């Protein structure tokens, strides 16, 4: 009989119980016992749910109070010294200190670095690697949870981050060495873990190796063969799980190690399923991840079955298992709990619980024939047809407009060199103009007004007035500080994607569609289900009001097409590039309206441009082409005299500088203070022609930077980029900061710019 399993269940709970429990514990409002009880309860509920869906094994170790990479580091005893001696037991408090930055005696210390997990919006904590580190089982959580599952009568499949992936994602600290040299010390620790799990009676262990979908250096490919020849055949059967893409050239590694099962991403790697099936080691099981674990659409079960049939032919029924493409960590828990969506739209969706039912149904069809799931097949086909037919997903006007796009719509009238004098005349700017990235502190007052309006305690007119008051206050303060290009401060935006999504056709919002972003932080991505159109201007009133309060130029402020796409659940019935183009057209209209309303500078933020890069280098070109084209489509409709700004919140441009230049924004602001302006080197080397505002003020910390240090950074920048093309601004928006720090910091920043302007 073929089997059904799951790679991981969302740990946050349908009602974000995990968040509440862990935050209460951190705040000292609940005990460790209460915390543990909530954890046991969540796990029990999630296992029951999965068993009921017909899964043969339940994942164990997918639960964590913070992050599964950190969990793996704890299990291996890879705890940086600053968090204290762990002597074989990383208890929960130590674990939290690593995530949150406290030493054993409670002093603040640097937390482990956090970064995005492959191409998802989930963040993991980066392992810190030292040449002399040793690995020893140092956490009991995986074993006690395995016992917990066994005690409740389930068949547990413990899940570990595999050794290659754990190492690949680790960061070498202290000294310069090849981290792959740690593998030989790491493998015995994994062996001991597997042995203990075998002793507990675990039949299978899942080792996650998403690195198998990346371009791997030869040494790492060889390491796969070495590692899995060692780890298999000792006790528990070993399933290696690859996901977030196809195996590509790593397919040839498949026969090189005698693993007992290989899981592959049958959504993104659908075309290679049969090839992988044929390459499997003798008797090995193929786990076909044909249910999309990265998106919220309901599966076309007929189509999925069709994909499974040829695999069954090759492998036989016994050796074919069904699963979601990856852990369900990346989708919300349960659609049944959702109250924010209409029935039609809900009918097109599946969250984690529903996806597992789909997995269960496919298994039944394979084992008992399709008639066994006739009802599920009919319902799935009806949903697919409803979505395909629905007028809500297709707007003839939008499609006609996209079809009529012409090349000149992605080009400004004149090249930058000619636009520049026109903009300088239009905006009347000094040398080294000062500005900010857009948002100002979202004060308690602002948040209260938003809450009260949502709850009906504030009328719309009262709410609008509260926002206008906040804008007026922000403008007044900016004038007092003496900034050159002002912003309205974004008080009306709770979130830079949600705000636009709520004003565009084609987006829907859930009430309970939470997914974990990091630690206890959860986000509710919008659902981009249909053609995108802008029924009316989205930001013009706010910007016009802000401009009316000052003679200085006010920047219009928009979120770019790639970022809107990247931070939403996006429709899967057309290429992402097509959706990006629709978003770009809607933004293009907004840009035109802002210009017509008298805004002389307009910023289109693209903080997510870089994270949208495909995992495989070979696919970058295509992505960057449409990403750049979308940005240009959104921004090229303005006259030469209107200045287009963009902003990106990172300091890593080396490999994408060509695309950044191709955006042809008049001004780009980037994060730079923490890298001491080093990132400018690539702009210099590339002879980047337009203007740049390298951040001189690290907004991630509450510390107020001094005039001296910012002047110093500016002087450094000026050695690389000519002063005529330099702007002065913070690293990013200021919405998470308080006025107490923001005001003196910006005063110092303006003073630093003034000092630089004075003849030396």
Please identify the residue of the shown chain whose CB is closest to the bound ligand GLN: 733
Cα 727 to Cα 485: distance, rounded to the nearest angstrom: 10
Residue 709 annotated as lining a ligand binding site: no
Q: How far is the CB of 438 from ligand GLN (least distance, A)?
A: 3
Cβ contacts of 168 within 8 Å, gap of 6 or more? 211, 214, 220
Measured from the CB atom, is 253 or 437 closer to ligand GLN? 437
Largest Cα separation within the chain, whole Å, is 85
Select the binding partner of residue 735 from Zn ion, ligand GLN, none (C-beta < 5 to 8 A, by kind): ligand GLN
**Least distance in angstroms from the C-beta of 538 to ligand GLN:** 14
Q: Is 330 a catalytic residue?
A: no
Q: Considering CB distances under 5 to 8 angstroms, the limit depending on partner class, which of Zn ion, ligand GLN, none binds residue 557?
A: ligand GLN
Binding site for Zn ion (CB under 5 A): 607, 649, 732
* Cβ nearer to Zn ion, comparing 207 with 672: 672
From CA 205, how far away is CA 198, in angstroms rounded?
Answer: 9
* Residue closer to Zn ion, measured from CB, 549 or 663: 663
Cβ 437 to ligand GLN, closest distance in Å?
A: 4
For residue 413, say whether it is annotated as part of any ligand binding site: no
Share in percent of the chain as helix, strand, coil (round to 5):
50, 15, 40
Query: Smaller CB distance to ligand GLN: residue 312 or 671?
Result: 671
- With CB cut-offs between 5 and 8 Å by kind, which of Zn ion, ligand GLN, none does residue 470 bind? none
Angle at 344 between CA 573 and CA 570, to 5 degrees: 30
Residue 262 in contact with residue 246, Cβ under 8 Å? no
Beta carbon nearer to Zn ion, 299 or 669: 669
Bridge partners, 434 (sequence order): 728
169 is in the binding site of which of Zn ion, ligand GLN, none (Cβ under 5 to 8 A by kind)?
Answer: none
112 is in an annotated binding site: no
CA distance 77 to 89: 8
**What's the closest the beta carbon of residue 88 comes to ligand GLN, in angstroms?**
41
Token duo for residue 396: 């003839």
CA angle 469–460–531, rounded 5-degree value:
105
Tell whether 116 is in a known binding site: yes
Whether 121 has a binding-site annotation, put simply, is yes
Which residue shows structure tokens 């039912």? 357
Q: Is 488 annotated as a binding residue?
A: no
Between helix 68-76 and helix 183-200 the angle, nearest 10°, is 100
CA-to-CA distance for 561 and 720, rounded, in angstroms? 31
Q: Which of ligand GLN, Zn ion, none has residue 583 at its interface (CB below 5 to 8 Å by kind)? A: none
Cβ 505 vs Cβ 534: under 8 Å: yes
CA 190/CA 408 separation, integer angstroms: 58
Nearest one of 152, 139, 134, 133 to 48, comparing CA atoms? 152
Closer CB to Zn ion, 644 or 732, in the complex: 732
Are 289 and 267 a contacting pair, CB within 8 Å?
yes
The residues pairing with 237 across neighbouring beta strands, listed in sequence order, are 204
Residue 737's binding partner out of ligand GLN, Zn ion, none, with CB under 5 to 8 Å set by partner kind: none
Q: Which of 5, 123, 263, 700 does the annotation list as catalytic?
A: 700
Q: Is 754 annotated as a binding residue?
A: no
Contact residues for ligand GLN (CB under 6 A)? Answer: 437-439, 490, 496, 557, 605, 607, 647, 649, 732-733, 735
Spatial separation of the C-alpha atoms in residues 493 and 63, rounded to whole Å: 33
Residue positions annotated with a catalytic role: 700
Q: Which residues line the annotated binding site?
A: 16-19, 116, 121, 437-439, 490, 521-522, 567, 605, 611, 647, 649, 671, 732
Q: Which residues line the annotated binding site for 5-methyltetrahydropteroyltri-L-glutamate?
A: 16-19, 116, 121, 521-522, 567, 611
Q: Which residues line the annotated binding site for Zn(2+)?
A: 647, 649, 671, 732
Q: Which residues line the annotated binding site for L-homocysteine?
A: 437-439, 490, 605
């Amino acid at each position: 009989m073929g089997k059904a399993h799951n790679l991981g269940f969302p740990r946050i709970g349908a009602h974000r119980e995990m968040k509440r429990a862990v935050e209460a514990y951190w705040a000292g409002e609940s005990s460790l016992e209460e915390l543990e009880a909530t954890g046991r309860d969540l796990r029990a509920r999630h296992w029951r749910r999965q068993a009921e869906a017909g899964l043969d094994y339940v994942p164990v170790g997918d639960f964590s109070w913070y992050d599964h990479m950190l969990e793996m580091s704890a299990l291996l005893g890879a705890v940086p010294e600053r968090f204290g001696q762990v002597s074989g037991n990383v208890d929960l408090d130590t674990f939290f200190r690593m995530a949150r930055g406290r030493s054993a005696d409670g002093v603040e210390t640097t937390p482990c670095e956090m970064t995005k997990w492959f191409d998802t919006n989930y963040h993991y904590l980066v392992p810190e690697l030292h040449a002399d580190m040793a690995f020893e089982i140092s956490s009991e959580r995986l074993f006690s949870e395995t016992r917990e599952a066994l005690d409740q009568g389930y068949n547990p499949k413990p899940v570990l981050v595999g050794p290659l992936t754990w190492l690949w994602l680790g960061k070498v600290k202290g000294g310069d060495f090849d981290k792959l040299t740690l593998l030989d010390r790491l493998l015995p620790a994994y062996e001991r873990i597997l042995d203990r799990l075998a002793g507990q009676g675990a039949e299978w262990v899942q080792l996650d190796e998403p690195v198998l979908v990346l371009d791997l250096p030869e040494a790492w490919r060889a390491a796969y063969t070495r590692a899995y020849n060692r780890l298999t055949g000792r006790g528990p059967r070993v399933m290696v799980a690859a996901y977030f893409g196809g195996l590509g050239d790593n397919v040839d590694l498949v026969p090189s190690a005698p693993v007992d099962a290989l899981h592959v991403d049958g959504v993104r790697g659908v075309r290679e399923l049969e090839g992988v099936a044929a390459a499997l080691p003798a008797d090995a099981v193929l786990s076909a991840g044909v249910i999309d674990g990265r998106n919220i659409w309901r599966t076309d079960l007929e189509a999925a079955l069709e994909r499974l049939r040829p695999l069954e032919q090759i492998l036989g029924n016994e050796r074919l298992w069904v699963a979601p493409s990856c852990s369900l960590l990346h989708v919300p828990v349960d659609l049944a709990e959702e109250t924010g969506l209409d029935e039609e739209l809900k009918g097109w969706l599946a969250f984690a619980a529903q996806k597992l039912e789909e997995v269960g149904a496919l298994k039944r069809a394979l084992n008992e024939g399709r008639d066994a799931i006739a009802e599920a097949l009919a319902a799935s086909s009806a949903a697919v047809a409803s979505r395909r037919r629905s007028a809500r997903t297709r707007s003839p006007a939008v499609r006609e407009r996209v079809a009529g796009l012409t090349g000149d719509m992605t080009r400004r009238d004149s090249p930058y060199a000619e636009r520049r004098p026109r903009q300088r005349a239009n905006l009347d700017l000094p040398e080294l103009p000062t500005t900010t990235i857009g948002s100002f502190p979202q004060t308690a007052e602002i948040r209260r007004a938003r809450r009260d309006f949502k709850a009906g305690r504030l009328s719309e007119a009262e709410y609008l007035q509260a926002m206008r008051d906040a804008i007026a206050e922000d403008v007044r303060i900016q004038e007092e500080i003496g900034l050159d290009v002002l912003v309205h401060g974004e008080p009306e935006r709770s979130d830079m994607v949600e705000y636009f999504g709520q004003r565009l056709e084609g987006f829907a919002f859930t009430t309970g569609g939470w997914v974990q972003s990091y630690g206890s932080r959860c986000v509710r991505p919008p659902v981009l289900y249909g053609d995108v159109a802008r029924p009316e201007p989205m930001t013009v009133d706010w910007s016009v009001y802000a401009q009316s309060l000052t003679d200085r130029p006010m920047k219009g402020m928009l979120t770019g097409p790639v970022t809107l796409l990247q931070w939403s659940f996006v429709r899967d019935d057309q290429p992402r590039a097509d959706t990006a183009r629709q978003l770009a057209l809607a933004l293009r209209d907004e840009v035109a309206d802002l210009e017509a309303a008298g805004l002389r500078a307009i910023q289109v933020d693209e903080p997510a441009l870089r994270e949208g890069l495909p995992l495989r280098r070979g696919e970058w070109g295509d992505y960057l082409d449409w990403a750049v084209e979308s940005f240009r489509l959104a921004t090229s409709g303005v006259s030469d005299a209107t200045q287009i700004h963009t902003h990106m919140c990172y300091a890593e441009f080396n490999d994408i500088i060509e695309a950044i230049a191709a955006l042809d924004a008049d001004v780009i602001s980037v994060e730079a203070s923490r890298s001491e302006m080093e990132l400018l080197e690539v702009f210099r080397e590339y002879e980047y022609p337009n203007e740049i505002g390298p951040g001189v003020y690290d907004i991630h910390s509450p510390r107020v930077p001094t005039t001296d240090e910012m002047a110093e950074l500016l002087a450094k920048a000026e050695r690389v980029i000519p002063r005529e093309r330099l702007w002065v601004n913070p690293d990013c928006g200021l919405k998470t900061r308080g006025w107490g720090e923001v005001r003196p910091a910006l005063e110092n920043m303006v003073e630093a710019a003034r000092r630089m302007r004075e003849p030396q």
